[in-house]
């Protein structure tokens, strides 16, 4: 049984005192969150949509979602961190999404893929897009956009080997408003850890990354490097050991497993 459409009332119950905006249909929740932040919305405020028609993913991909199929939300953060540490903020958000999805996953394996995909039973169930807005050299605010496949049916699509929905794995209905509330609380939690002890965020993230120990190809903006993913450093960069023994630092981009490209 589906959990029914998201409504203001349902979200108010689940999000309690948190400031939020709900849109039944939107281009991109990140866009509305940015506009709202520019108008002065406080940190922690969130935009949630039922349907997203022009959502953005990383590396120029799109993230659209029909009504009822996913959780689409963008959180406004005004982190007190050096802008160079932004990858750690995304790692903190990935940990929060991991925690919420794990609670809904009925014991199925949840992992993270570098840099910040969440995987369920080995396939991508959620993605995160962090977008920063600057005032000169200073970070004005960040929008952390999270998209989760809750009941998308990938059967018969080209994504079937790569993507998955929570409900197709668990066979249980996900209450999307509750899931949003849980993830937002975990964002508060991990952001607190980040501000006090950034290394703990990286350690927790490292422990959940299934990329480590795998042979991967990193697709960066201008080149590809293949090797074994041996570790991540304190800044969140992936360390790849190529066949000649050299360690390469990959700061951004995508990785695919070298054998099956998932
Ligand atoms: C990825 O490529 O894995 C990141 C996907 C991020 C999608 C989410 S959905 C909510 C928010 N609004 C957007 O336009 N994108 C993010």
Note the pLDDT of residue 262: 41
Return the pLDDT at 261: 42
In the chain, pLDDT over 90 holds for what percent of residues? 86
- What is the pLDDT, as a whole number, of residue 140? 93
Indicate if ligand 1 lies below 6 Å from the C-beta of 63: yes
Q: Which of 23, 65, 129 to mutate to test the pocket of ligand 1 (most atoms within 8 A of CB)?
A: 129
Interior angle at CA 49, CA 94 and CA 105, nearest 5: 45
Tokens at 100, concatenated: 């919420």
Mean pLDDT of 133-157: 94
- The residue-averaged pLDDT of 177-181 equals 98
Ranges 137-141, 162-166, 190-194: which has the least confidence: 137-141
Cα of 128 vs centre of ligand 1, distance in Å, is 6
pLDDT greater than 70 at residue 260: no
The token duo for 23 is: 């849109």
pLDDT of 257: 82
CA angle 182, 194, 232 (to 5 degrees): 105
The pLDDT, as a whole number, for residue 259 is 60
Average pLDDT over residues 118-139: 94
pTM of the model: 0.95
Minimal-distance CA residue to ligand 1 atom 14: 55
Alpha carbons 7 and 123: distance in angstroms, whole number: 29
The CA 245 to ligand 1 mean position distance, Å, reads 36
Residue with the bigger pLDDT between 147 and 222: it is 147
pLDDT at 6 over 80: yes
147 CB near ligand 1 (under 6 Å):
yes
Taking residues 86-112, report their average pLDDT.
Answer: 96
User: Is the pLDDT assigned to residue 94 strictly greater than 90?
Assistant: yes
CB atoms within 10 A of CB 121: 14
**Separation of alpha carbons 122 and 124, rounded Å:** 7
Q: Which atom of ligand 1 is nearest to the CA of 55?
A: 14
Q: What is the CA(114)–ligand 1 centre distance, in A?
A: 16
- Distance (Å) from CA 155 to ligand 1 centroid: 21
Q: Which residue has the tokens 């956009």?
A: 145
Ligand 1 atom closest to Cα of 70? 9
């Amino acid at each position: 049984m589906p959990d029914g459409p998201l409504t203001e009332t349902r979200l108010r119950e689940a999000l309690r005192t948190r400031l939020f905006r709900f849109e039944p249909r939107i281009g991109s929740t990140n866009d509305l969150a940015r506009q709202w932040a520019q108008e002065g919305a406080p940190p922690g405020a969130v935009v949630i949509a039922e349907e997203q028609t022009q959502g953005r993913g990383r590396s120029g991909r799109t993230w659209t979602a029909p009504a009822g199929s996913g959780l689409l939300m963008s959180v406004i953060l005004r982190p007190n961190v050096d802008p160079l540490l932004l990858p750690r903020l995304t790692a903190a958000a990935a940990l929060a999404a991991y925690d919420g999805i794990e609670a809904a996953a009925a014991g199925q394996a949840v992992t993270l893929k570098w840099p910040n995909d969440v995987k369920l039973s080995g396939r991508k169930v959620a993605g995160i897009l962090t977008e920063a807005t600057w005032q000169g050299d200073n970070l004005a605010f960040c929008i952390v956009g999270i998209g989760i496949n809750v009941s998308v049916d990938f059967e018969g699509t080209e994504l079937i080997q790569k993507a998955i929905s929570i409900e197709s794995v668990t066979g249980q209905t996900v209450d999307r408003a509750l899931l949003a509330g849980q993830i937002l609380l975990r964002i508060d939690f991990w952001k607190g850890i980040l501000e006090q002890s950034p290394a703990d965020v990286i350690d927790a993230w490292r422990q959940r990354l299934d990329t480590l120990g795998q042979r991967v190809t990193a697709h960066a903006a201008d080149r590809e490097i293949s090797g074994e993913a041996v570790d991540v450093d304190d800044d969140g960069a992936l360390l790849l050991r190529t066949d000649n023994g050299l360690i390469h630092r990959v700061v951004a981009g995508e990785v695919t497993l070298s054998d099956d490209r998932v």
